[in-house]
Amino acid sequence: MSNYTVPGIDQNSAKQIIDGLQERLTDYNDLHLILKHVHWNVVGANFIAVHEMIDPQIDLVRGFADEVAERISTLGGEPIGTPAGHVQDRKPLEYPKNKANTQDHLKQVNDLYTQVIEGVRESMGEAGELDSVTEDIYIAHAAELEKFQWFVRAHLDDGTGNIA
Amino acid sequence: MSNYTVPGIDQNSAKQIIDGLQERLTDYNDLHLILKHVHWNVVGANFIAVHEMIDPQIDLVRGFADEVAERISTLGGEPIGTPAGHVQDRKPLEYPKNKANTQDHLKQVNDLYTQVIEGVRESMGEAGELDSVTEDIYIAHAAELEKFQWFVRAHLDDGTGNIA
Amino acid sequence: MSNYTVPGIDQNSAKQIIDGLQERLTDYNDLHLILKHVHWNVVGANFIAVHEMIDPQIDLVRGFADEVAERISTLGGEPIGTPAGHVQDRKPLEYPKNKANTQDHLKQVNDLYTQVIEGVRESMGEAGELDSVTEDIYIAHAAELEKFQWFVRAHLDDGTGNIA
Amino acid sequence: MSNYTVPGIDQNSAKQIIDGLQERLTDYNDLHLILKHVHWNVVGANFIAVHEMIDPQIDLVRGFADEVAERISTLGGEPIGTPAGHVQDRKPLEYPKNKANTQDHLKQVNDLYTQVIEGVRESMGEAGELDSVTEDIYIAHAAELEKFQWFVRAHLDDGTGNIA
Amino acid sequence: MSNYTVPGIDQNSAKQIIDGLQERLTDYNDLHLILKHVHWNVVGANFIAVHEMIDPQIDLVRGFADEVAERISTLGGEPIGTPAGHVQDRKPLEYPKNKANTQDHLKQVNDLYTQVIEGVRESMGEAGELDSVTEDIYIAHAAELEKFQWFVRAHLDDGTGNIA
Amino acid sequence: MSNYTVPGIDQNSAKQIIDGLQERLTDYNDLHLILKHVHWNVVGANFIAVHEMIDPQIDLVRGFADEVAERISTLGGEPIGTPAGHVQDRKPLEYPKNKANTQDHLKQVNDLYTQVIEGVRESMGEAGELDSVTEDIYIAHAAELEKFQWFVRAHLDDGTGNIA
Amino acid sequence: MSNYTVPGIDQNSAKQIIDGLQERLTDYNDLHLILKHVHWNVVGANFIAVHEMIDPQIDLVRGFADEVAERISTLGGEPIGTPAGHVQDRKPLEYPKNKANTQDHLKQVNDLYTQVIEGVRESMGEAGELDSVTEDIYIAHAAELEKFQWFVRAHLDDGTGNIA
Amino acid sequence: MSNYTVPGIDQNSAKQIIDGLQERLTDYNDLHLILKHVHWNVVGANFIAVHEMIDPQIDLVRGFADEVAERISTLGGEPIGTPAGHVQDRKPLEYPKNKANTQDHLKQVNDLYTQVIEGVRESMGEAGELDSVTEDIYIAHAAELEKFQWFVRAHLDDGTGNIA
Amino acid sequence: MSNYTVPGIDQNSAKQIIDGLQERLTDYNDLHLILKHVHWNVVGANFIAVHEMIDPQIDLVRGFADEVAERISTLGGEPIGTPAGHVQDRKPLEYPKNKANTQDHLKQVNDLYTQVIEGVRESMGEAGELDSVTEDIYIAHAAELEKFQWFVRAHLDDGTGNIA
Amino acid sequence: MSNYTVPGIDQNSAKQIIDGLQERLTDYNDLHLILKHVHWNVVGANFIAVHEMIDPQIDLVRGFADEVAERISTLGGEPIGTPAGHVQDRKPLEYPKNKANTQDHLKQVNDLYTQVIEGVRESMGEAGELDSVTEDIYIAHAAELEKFQWFVRAHLDDGTGNIA
Amino acid sequence: MSNYTVPGIDQNSAKQIIDGLQERLTDYNDLHLILKHVHWNVVGANFIAVHEMIDPQIDLVRGFADEVAERISTLGGEPIGTPAGHVQDRKPLEYPKNKANTQDHLKQVNDLYTQVIEGVRESMGEAGELDSVTEDIYIAHAAELEKFQWFVRAHLDDGTGNIA
Amino acid sequence: MSNYTVPGIDQNSAKQIIDGLQERLTDYNDLHLILKHVHWNVVGANFIAVHEMIDPQIDLVRGFADEVAERISTLGGEPIGTPAGHVQDRKPLEYPKNKANTQDHLKQVNDLYTQVIEGVRESMGEAGELDSVTEDIYIAHAAELEKFQWFVRAHLDDGTGNIA
């Protein structure tokens, strides 16, 4: 930690917020790598539509990673984003499929999003008591991730609101 | 309701949030229809300035309708936006004027905005306890609607802060 | 009616043209509301492609509503576009589906377009004898609506030119 | 006249169409000069709104002049657009006001538009029997000129559809 | 033919309109190929000006081909645009020159345009009685083709309206 | 004249500057009409290059007219730009050619530019002693007009610096 | 105060929110003046990089001033932004340096940002209980100001997280 | 003062030019603050048109402040633009109105512009003998400020060239 | 052949390179015609996604045709792109399907691409020994054509890397 | 491996090319993660210049990863880009620094680039004998990576061509 | 010299102005070559900031060369810009450094700018008596060159206005 | 030479590649100066077309100079681009014409291009064995230079492929 942090936030709170942000950074870095992996390996009669749907989401998630990392720096921390670093202390997000058709990939991506969003909402709750700025970043991220999950789920919905 | 909703939100909360969003969707659909109606029927020496002031606001309100409807879908609900549907369960927003001069229309629009904004602020209060993402959508909408109401009121203000 | 209309067109003709334009305005307002409703409620393996195909069409139809309404004003009439107003004197366009898969929605939209286009072609025939400018507006609208109906039908065609 | 004209149109018809186009060219050249004159001389509490409303219309009218002149060339004629030439055979459009307030100018412009539009509709009628392409140019011009006249009249309308 | 066509048009009329559109499609495909051929083979002191004048016209003609083909699909037909298909039933448009100077090419292009425009005007006449939308497409095409022919002829005109 | 003018300039000087500006306004209005006339009537093997060279210059000259007219208004005068008005007190700029080849037109345009530029340089000299802002406007106009005259002359130069 | 404020907010709350907004407005006006002052007076081997880093921040801060002032108007208040007015009731933000090298300026700017951000966070706390819209404006401002302070501090950090 | 200035200008002249530039800088900083203040506080039936007319002028004046300040730096001086600094040695420009209708504000702004323009023209006269580059900056500023004053005055003119 | 070619390439080599380029030109002209044909005739539940995927590829292939044809001219040859010319000496590329569903069309397009790419790779091998510039053109074309073939194949792949 | 690959390339060659591409994909994924890490952790007097220099390079490297992965798919392979997958079979690129000043980071980045470029040049050599398209991708990547390494080294060069 | 020059300027004056313009053209050609040379050879910890600062200035200087050369042509002269020609009659601008660090290069560039600006100011003085248009070109060039010299000097200033 | 070069290239090879790049840099600097010279001195009936054709080519050649110079830096060399430097060791490219008509200039430019292209192709051959990246730069340059030479030659070709 630096000898400075955001004015009006004490060092202990800053440290706690940074811990949450670092977890999200690791998740987002894993997530954008996986989404590109899906983008390359998806096949089937709906190929082009799904292939193209994923790319703008990757840009968003990469922007989220940048935003939480720069918030860490702003709070006086050191964001860790190296490939070795982000697998060291924890299991990276798992994604078991390589080449597969669109529906199979989207089911897997749906599960992945549930995991990532739960992490964001957890950090959002913690940040809310410490720093409105960081909380607001999480709210904006959740909004976009949840909307994309709707896109994913809409492909899987059987027309009656059920996902098999 | 679908068998899924946003991760971290339970089905009952989701249902409650959706109810508020559906009310706002209906209001926004009514509002953008009325604003276009004013855009076409306003006359008088200030015609062109007022005629043009309304159009970007219509784009915003249409965007708000889209945003709350897609939030309903994200939460697992079914947004109702059909012309029959959105008058069925309630009285549509009323707008009694057709051709009239700018000041008369703006007085009427001012009243309409008070009504619509009160609805947004009510839903905002309810959402705050259930879902920060939905609350944040309402805050952004209120900010824009309130600013436009200032534009409207500024035409009616007699220079001392009173609206006749 | 105002005490003026377009130079070279008599008041009676103007009145008659305005009646046709008001019917189209009501249809277009209903139509763009319904298309947004479909945009939000469609699901299934082709979700994203159909979801995105609808949006530019909504912009077009909203533009058509604006164009016929402003033609009414130009002819000295008062276009009625309020939510109460446009269901008062006639049944709004019906759309019975909420959440449903893409093919089911597109079948419904196909029927809706047949109904709307027939209205446009009827007004087009009437306008042709009274005012080439209004006729030309209808021709441009028909061109776009018919092209979009082809897009819709192309999803339903079994490859031999038959729609089940 | 050249020894060629548009394929499928005989020399006599071409000559007759060109006569109408030349009249419109002269009117449009007069009109865009006058509109700029108004743009510079208008004053009063609504100055900026009216001053700015006129400029895009001038661009349109200059484009109309270009379009009818190039249609004359296409038909094998020689469009006359010189300042001496376009006052030689006829009285230029008159515009008696210099500095004056917005309402006074708009009344004058309203009268001017009635005169110009009547000319366009007359040529439109003649062209309809000879050349659909030229007719279509007139229809597009009339649509824009009539819409602008509505803008002008909307400033003068007392709210009940009457222009004093 | 499909079991559907544009609402308000009967199957026989649709078939007749499609025949005209197919002829134009074939002509336009031939024409844009030839214009590119000229673009590549023209030489002489005016090379660059003529070389560059042709390219935007090719884009237009390709757009016309697209427009008539999609109108065929909209009417329930099957547009034929394959290289084998469009020479099968008729002689393709002939263009005898390869490398040659600008004036020689422009004379040849002038003749070609007379041939293509006559075809458009013929189909325009037939369509006028059956379908205003298709007629309007032809009018717009004729306007552009005739204007480009003026550009071509203006290079050949001896200054007195004669083309040697 | 108004009861106000630019701060720091007395009414007599303002009146004198306005006279010069009004002459230039009249010239510029004549000039842009004539340049369009040339744009439409020029023919010959260099048609397209010359036809296109003229259009951006017309935009410039129209901008110059606007600029001097608005300077008149700024100085408290009333710019006269009506078609009748600008031929009343003086002979409009003459342009004797209709359809003619590029070199013949450019010779004529060269003479016209000499006349117009001499007017600008005369007013520039007078303004220099009264108002640097108006002088600066003339300098900018002269720079562009003289550059365009070089373009014109470069077509006529025999390669040794002589214009036949 | 006006006889109106934002629907759902009482006059006393509105008055209290306005007081906080007026303090921020004064700070932002001082801040953007000072940042421009730094932009002009900074020198040294890192001149161009620091000179250019400041300009987009000035645009942001000017936008923040506009935003809080318009929120005051929306709430029915009268924002005070005159040069006399904003020094009357309080000491303007002090900035003791004129020409100086980049590191010296950045140290000074760092202190200034601590002061400004503390003000924003204080008002943010007060607004949170009264008006979510105003609170949200402050959160967005804090996010940007704190990020820029990181940029400033990153120049001063000795590589171990300490600022001398 | 630095030990360098613009090549070809001696230190004494540079010092004298800088003094004039510093006065203009102070005026421009005051002016853009006041124009924003008006932008926020203006009301009445012409609100939106006047509110929007002011914003681009603020951008211009801010650019003028930047330009004169950077000219001071170029000449080797130290431009003073801090809020404390620019009221220290002189009275800031006064602006007595807060909320008021458009005509009342425009009258006040008209007086303010007379004062600011007189300052510019005075510095312009002094600079003309010392440095053409600085003089040219003032000429460009005067041109824009005087044109905007015409916009302001045109709202106040009674149609006969008198401002009450 | 001209009496000139690219500096550093002898006439015999140039002739040989031109022969390869002419074959590719003919293929590309056939290919972009066929792709448009598919674009118009494809139907089925994936219509819109496939319909839109084809259009940017057509632009690319048309650009490739232009590029190889202009390379022929650069080498001193005469590119033949007329509709008659490009079927004279060889069988045009065959495409047997008209209206058909997406998967059927994509299978056919896959075969067509294999044929076209083999031609490009053959010419690439020949050019490599004669002219690096021409070789580089082929490499860039192959890269894009092969990538598009992957898009096509990805629709047909059963998820295990097999195309039925 | 799929049962298809690029036309003209045999399955064994394809497999060999894919192996090289997969190594580069892993390197590029590591590299863009590390560059972002540096972007966030760099400090010192040159902070902003270096911070900003890195971002466009990250976009390039992410584009390279996309390009080699899609080439693998085109060749019939399955690109592996998951976070777990790309550390499984080999050591990820190491980057030992977190917060540090610009020169220290740039030295480290210089070493990293030597390692990455050597990998690219090795694969380039292997690909040259098998597939010109893949080779050409590597050449373009090397060109950009080597240019960026010059940027990095230029910061470290002592002015005589030596890097300490 | 040609047998024509700018209207209102006699041949002797034109010749004299041309001589000054030719000197400036030669200087500008030398200057933009040298600035590119610096752009390529600069190194050190401030590399990227200085490297990038130079490029837009090169574009400006190349534009200045174009402007003075075209003014020569406009005045009837023949601008000499060939590499042999512009060193024939005089010593080209000298620049003794190749690879060197930023501060060393900027000192050298500072001296070079003093030399170039003195030339511009000398020609400016001579032109002022002969041709305001040419004088105005020089004023605009001096403004930009002097501003860039400030950028250069600001890197060398020790914080007290002294350049060592 | 620096103590570093591109990874995978030894110092001797680097030195040899740099020698070729330096020759090209000198040629390109000469060439863009000459092309501008032609741009200013060309006259005759085809003036504007040829004048405008040259400018984009100058931008390209300036970009080529930048590219080869930066490749030299990347390889560890010092690119020499000073006006004195690039005539010191060799004769600059000669261009004997000043004012002359288009065809005379284009003949001269044709010869110049033959000379420059031969140099590029020679360096291309040498680089091919040492460094694919440098070779690829030359190939891209040759492609553009040879295409422009075709443009030049196409003006001189008598229509049978002969240049007199």
The answer to whether E47 contacts L155, with C-beta atoms less than 8 Å apart, is yes
Q: Is 80 exceeded by the pLDDT of residue A48?
A: yes
Confirm whether G48 is domain-assigned: yes
Here the tokens at position I151 are 């898009």
Return d(Cα G25, Cα L42) in angstroms, integer.
60
pLDDT in tens, chain H (164 residues): 899 999 999 999 999 999 999 999 999 999 999 999 999 999 999 999 999 999 999 999 999 999 999 999 999 999 999 987 665 566 789 999 999 999 999 999 999 999 999 999 999 999 998 999 999 999 999 999 999 999 999 999 999 999 97
Return d(Cα L120, Cα L116) in angstroms, integer.
6
Residue C111 near residue C122, CB atoms below 8 Å: no
Q: Is 90 exceeded by the pLDDT of residue E9?
A: yes
Which chain E residue has the Cα nearest residue C122? E8
**Phi–psi pair at G92, nearest 5 degrees:** -65, 160
Q: How confident is the model at residue A87 (pLDDT cuts 50, 70, 90)?
A: low
Position D96 scores a pLDDT of 92
Return d(Cα B92, Cα A12) in angstroms, integer.
53
Confirm whether H62 is domain-assigned: yes
Return d(Cα D30, Cα F10) in angstroms, integer.
35
SS3 G33: helix
Return d(Cα H88, Cα G150) in angstroms, integer.
32
Judging contacts by C-beta atoms under 8 Å, the chain K residues touching residue F143 are 133, 136-137
Which residues face I101 on adjacent strands?
I43
Which chain G residue has the Cα nearest residue B160? G2
Higher pLDDT among residues I27 and J90, named by residue: I27
Q: What is the mean pLDDT of residues I144-158?
A: 98
- Counting as low any pLDDT under 50, the low residues of chain D are none
pLDDT 10s digits, B102-159 = 999 999 999 999 999 999 999 999 999 899 999 999 999 999 999 999 999 999 999 9
Confirm whether J83 is domain-assigned: no
> Cβ of H100 under 8 Å from any chain B Cβ?
yes
Confirm whether E131 is domain-assigned: yes
Indicate the DSSP class of residue H130.
T
F137-141, K15-19, L87-91, range with the lowest pLDDT? L87-91
Question: Which candidate, E143, E93, E133, E161, places its Cα nearest to that of E7?
Answer: E133
Q: Is 90 exceeded by the pLDDT of residue G157?
A: yes
Position L164 scores a pLDDT of 73
Q: Is 80 exceeded by the pLDDT of residue A40?
A: yes
The answer to whether G157 contacts J42, with C-beta atoms less than 8 Å apart, is no
Buried (b) or exposed (e) across I8-17, using 16+ Cβ within 10 A?
bbeeebbebb
Return d(Cα A17, Cα A12) in angstroms, integer.
9
Which residues face E100 on adjacent strands?
E42
Residue D138 near residue C8, CB atoms below 8 Å: no
Check contact H-I (3+ Cβ pairs < 8 Å). Answer: no
Return d(Cα A161, Cα A153) in angstroms, integer.
10
> Cβ of D17 under 8 Å from any chain E Cβ?
no
- Non-local (6+) Cβ contacts of C88 within 8 A are none
Here the tokens at position J117 are 């470029």
Confirm whether E24 is domain-assigned: yes
Residue G76 near residue H66, CB atoms below 8 Å: no
> Cβ of B114 under 8 Å from any chain G Cβ?
yes
The pTM for the full model equals 0.97
Confirm whether K69 is domain-assigned: yes
SS3 K157: strand
Question: Which candidate, G9, G1, G3, G2, places its Cα nearest to that of G134?
Answer: G9
The angle at the Cα of E127, spanning E126 to E133, to the nearest 5 degrees, equals 170
Position E47 scores a pLDDT of 98
SS3 B157: strand
Position L25 scores a pLDDT of 97
Here the tokens at position E58 are 């090719």
Return d(Cα D22, Cα D13) in angstroms, integer.
14
In Å, what is the CA distance from G36 to each residue of G26, G101, H79, I133, J47? 16, 15, 10, 52, 20
Q: How confident is the model at residue K90 (pLDDT cuts 50, 70, 90)?
A: low
Q: How confident is the model at residue K92 (pLDDT cuts 50, 70, 90)?
A: confident
pLDDT 10s digits, J113-162 = 999 999 999 999 999 989 999 999 999 999 999 999 999 999 999 999 99
Position J89 scores a pLDDT of 62
Position L84 scores a pLDDT of 77
Q: How confident is the model at residue C1 (pLDDT cuts 50, 70, 90)?
A: confident
Nearest 10 degrees: CA dihedral of B37, B40, B43, B45? Answer: 120
Which chain K residue has the Cα nearest residue J107? K45
The angle at the Cα of F138, spanning F136 to F139, to the nearest 5 degrees, equals 65
Judging contacts by C-beta atoms under 8 Å, the chain A residues touching residue I53 are 48
Domains identified in chain J, total number: 1
> Cβ of B13 under 8 Å from any chain A Cβ?
no
> Cβ of D149 under 8 Å from any chain F Cβ?
no
Position I32 scores a pLDDT of 98
Q: Is 80 exceeded by the pLDDT of residue J85?
A: no
- Tell me how close the Cα of B9 comes to any Cα of chain H, in angstroms: 42
Position B91 scores a pLDDT of 77
Return d(Cα F12, Cα H120) in angstroms, integer.
21
Question: How many Å is the Cα radius of gyration of chain E?
Answer: 17
Confirm whether G148 is domain-assigned: yes
Q: What is the mean pLDDT of chain B?
A: 95
pLDDT in tens, chain F (164 residues): 799 999 999 999 999 999 999 999 999 999 999 999 999 999 999 999 999 999 999 999 999 999 999 999 999 999 999 987 665 566 789 999 999 999 999 999 999 999 999 999 999 999 998 999 999 999 999 999 999 999 999 999 999 999 97
* Single-letter code of the amino acid located at F35: L
The answer to whether H43 contacts B103, with C-beta atoms less than 8 Å apart, is no
- With a pLDDT cut of 70, the percent of chain K lying above it is 96
Position K163 scores a pLDDT of 94
Q: Is 70 exceeded by the pLDDT of residue C88?
A: no
Q: What is the mean pLDDT of residues J73-77?
A: 98
Here the tokens at position B62 are 């249409």
Position F86 scores a pLDDT of 60
Higher pLDDT among residues E92 and K21, named by residue: K21
Position C89 scores a pLDDT of 62
Question: Which candidate, J18, A109, C114, K10, places its Cα nearest to that of E4?
Answer: C114
Position C91 scores a pLDDT of 77
> Cβ of A46 under 8 Å from any chain I Cβ?
yes
Judging contacts by C-beta atoms under 8 Å, the chain H residues touching residue B158 are 43, 101
Return d(Cα D106, Cα D154) in angstroms, integer.
10
Q: How confident is the model at residue I28 (pLDDT cuts 50, 70, 90)?
A: very high
Return d(Cα A161, Cα B64) in angstroms, integer.
24
Position C4 scores a pLDDT of 95
Residues D84, D88, D93, D97: is their CA dihedral positive or negative? positive
Q: How confident is the model at residue G21 (pLDDT cuts 50, 70, 90)?
A: very high
Q: Is 80 exceeded by the pLDDT of residue I164?
A: no
Return d(Cα H149, Cα H111) in angstroms, integer.
9
Nearest to B66 among C29, C36, C65 (CB): C36
Q: What is the mean pLDDT of residues L14-34?
A: 97
Residue K50 near residue J53, CB atoms below 8 Å: no
The per-type count for chain E, helices as H runs and strands as E runs, is 5, 2
pLDDT 10s digits, A55-74 = 999 999 999 999 999 999 99
Here the tokens at position K47 are 């590399």
- Tell me how close the Cα of K155 comes to any Cα of chain L, in angstroms: 23
CATH number at residue H150: 1.20.1260.10
The answer to whether A147 contacts B7, with C-beta atoms less than 8 Å apart, is no
The angle at the Cα of B111, spanning B107 to B112, to the nearest 5 degrees, equals 115
Return d(Cα B137, Cα B133) in angstroms, integer.
6
Position D99 scores a pLDDT of 97
DSSP string, chain C: --S---TT--HHHHHHHHHHHHHHHHHHHHHHHHHHHHHHHEESTTHHHHHHHHHHHHHHHHHHHHHHHHHHHHTT------TTHHHHSSPPPP---SSEEHHHHHHHHHHHHHHHHHHHHHHHHHHHTT-HHHHHHHHHHHHHHHHHHHHHHHHHB-SSS-B-
Position I1 scores a pLDDT of 80
- With a pLDDT cut of 90, the percent of chain G lying above it is 91
- Tell me how close the Cα of D78 comes to any Cα of chain E, in angstroms: 9
Q: Is 80 exceeded by the pLDDT of residue C143?
A: yes
Q: How confident is the model at residue I80 (pLDDT cuts 50, 70, 90)?
A: very high
Question: Which candidate, K27, K3, K5, places its Cα nearest to that of K17?
Answer: K5
Q: What is the mean pLDDT of residues C24-50?
A: 97
Here the tokens at position L33 are 């100066």
> Cβ of I69 under 8 Å from any chain E Cβ?
yes
Q: Is the interface score ipTM higher than 0.90?
A: yes
| Residue range of the domain that includes E149 | 11-78+98-156
Q: How many CB atoms lie within 10 A of CB H16?
A: 16
The angle at the Cα of A64, spanning G163 to C41, to the nearest 5 degrees, equals 160
pLDDT 10s digits, E27-64 = 999 999 999 999 999 999 999 999 999 999 999 999 99
Q: What is the count of residue pairs from E and L with beta carbons less than 8 Å apart?
A: 37
Q: What is the mean pLDDT of chain G?
A: 95
- Tell me how close the Cα of A125 comes to any Cα of chain C, in angstroms: 30
Indicate the DSSP class of residue F91.
P
Here the tokens at position C90 are 């006639």
Nearest to E93 among I36, I37, I83 (CB): I83
> Cβ of J87 under 8 Å from any chain A Cβ?
yes
**Phi–psi pair at D85, nearest 5 degrees:** -55, -40
Q: Is 60 exceeded by the pLDDT of residue I87?
A: no
Return d(Cα B35, Cα B145) in angstroms, integer.
13
Strand J42-43 relative to strand J100-101: parallel, antiparallel, unpaired? parallel
Confirm whether D90 is domain-assigned: no
Judging contacts by C-beta atoms under 8 Å, the chain E residues touching residue C143 are 133, 136-137
**Phi–psi pair at B30, nearest 5 degrees:** -60, -45
Q: How confident is the model at residue E164 (pLDDT cuts 50, 70, 90)?
A: confident
The answer to whether K81 contacts L37, with C-beta atoms less than 8 Å apart, is yes
